[in-house]
Amino acid sequence: MNSTLVMLLAGGVGSRLDILAYARAKPAVPFGGVYRIIDFTLSNVMNSGMDNVGVLTQYKPLSLMQHIGTGEPWDFIGRTRGAKILPPRTGEKESDWYKGTADAVRQNIDFIENRDSEQILILSGDHIYRMDYSELIKFHRTKRADFTIGMMLVPWEETVHFGVGITNNDNRIVEWEEKPEKAHNNLASMGIYVFNTEYLLETLRIHQEHDFGKNIIPAAIELDRVYAYPFDGYWRDVGTINAYWSANMDLLDSKSGLDLKAWHVRTRISEEGRLGDRSPTLVSPKGSVINSIISPGCRIMGYVENSILSPGVFVGPGARIVDSVVMHDSQIMASAEIIKSILDKNVIVGENTVLGDGRVDIPNREKPHHLSEGLVVVGKGVEIPTNCRVGKNCILQPGLTPEDYPGKEISPGETVRPRQVEE
């Protein structure tokens, strides 16, 4: 697969992930204890035998760039191998920021032209799945396609979020609907594209539109050979808070199809604060862990069930964590209770505090479309006071201190933010 050049789109803002993507690009959000979301796409590329990757970054890329580094954890290093970070071309007229997926690739035409390739494989860095891209390339070549799209069947009610294709008996796409209100098919784009290199370069020069789904695909199917590559394995777009939480929970379900070991997913274990020289996990005689993933450096003196703990998490005596995701170096103090919550890094939960309190379950008042499934989301570096009760669908914004809270009771659906940023 050395004739295939990979362009990995990793610049997404991740607005639907809300505060989890507040200070990082969406692909850099931690996942599954020790991983980041982008690890899945990078590992797919590695396991498919491809070794030249351009990573297109944009929104708050620092942690993502540090994580990828030279690409060594995924074997993208050597005389003919590499992973190159491609930031937006700042300083050029009207091109300081990528305006869409096609525009992002267009701004990096020189990177493509300077590498000898027959096909360009365009991927997104914010999906959880396992795919052998070499089979996709073989399909593309067998069909003598100009352009091939990885596609899968999704529930009909979800088609409004995707580009949807209608195909003939040969898998050739004959009609296209971009995020239709009422779809005529439920075969949805996975954001995975294969182009013949010369065809892509010519297309980007002729068509100045900004997006593949909205602009390039509808025009291409009228004149060119555009095919759908069918995929039926595990795939999840973790672009929403609930989808992110659900994908993490799938790691704990042996029947979900999400299997990190079988998928050979790699990450940068030497990254500061992740694994490195972390001590072994300690579970005290009074601690208990049931159906959970516990990373190195954790100290468990309480009860953990159906949850995922990143490195360095402390669970105090009498504390309970259930159905939750807790990221690096967070501290859950004695007798605190964490129920169906997502805690970012370096969160401190005070003694006797409860997150996910009560049966009342109303959507978040400010962002009802982002948070309505009963989750509590806590931003990076938040400190929650002792004896506090936080209802469902609450957002605690990054950097909160005990002085920022309006009281000990945070009603369901509320958002708490640092006082200094309030108007």
pLDDT score for 77: 86
- What are the backbone angles phi and psi of residue 394, rounded to the nearest 5°? -95, 150
In this prediction, residues 175-189 reach a mean pLDDT of 92
pLDDT score for 304: 98
pLDDT score for 91: 46
Return the SS3 of 251. Answer: coil
Q: What is the reported pTM?
A: 0.92
State pLDDT tens for residues 379-402. Answer: 999 999 999 999 999 999 999 999
Fill in the amino acid letter for 187: L
Could you give the domains of the chain? 4-250 (3.90.550.10), 272-421 (2.160.10.10)
Burial letters 50-72, b for 16+ CB under 10 A, else e: bbbbbbbbbbbbebbeebbeebe
Residues in contact with 269: Cβ distance below 8 Å, sequence separation at least 6, in sequence order: 34, 73, 275, 276
Residue 47 confidence class, pLDDT cut points 50, 70, 90: very high
| Sign for the pseudo-dihedral over CA of 297, 387, 408, 420 | negative
Residue 213 confidence class, pLDDT cut points 50, 70, 90: confident
Fill in the amino acid letter for 322: V
State pLDDT tens for residues 8-31. Answer: 998 766 566 777 877 788 888 999
Mean pLDDT across the chain: 90
Beta carbons of 64 and 25 less than 8 angstroms apart: yes
Residue 94 confidence class, pLDDT cut points 50, 70, 90: very low
Beta carbons of 288 and 303 less than 8 angstroms apart: yes
Question: Which parts of 295-404 are beta strand (E)?
Answer: 299-300, 303-305, 308-309, 314-315, 320-322, 325-326, 331-332, 337-339, 341-343, 348-349, 354-357, 376-378, 383-384, 389-391, 395-396
Residue 116 confidence class, pLDDT cut points 50, 70, 90: confident
Residue 419 confidence class, pLDDT cut points 50, 70, 90: confident
Beta carbons of 59 and 13 less than 8 angstroms apart: yes
State pLDDT tens for residues 126-179. Answer: 899 999 999 999 999 999 999 999 999 999 998 998 999 999 999 999 999 989
CA–CA separation, 258 vs 252, rounded Å?
9
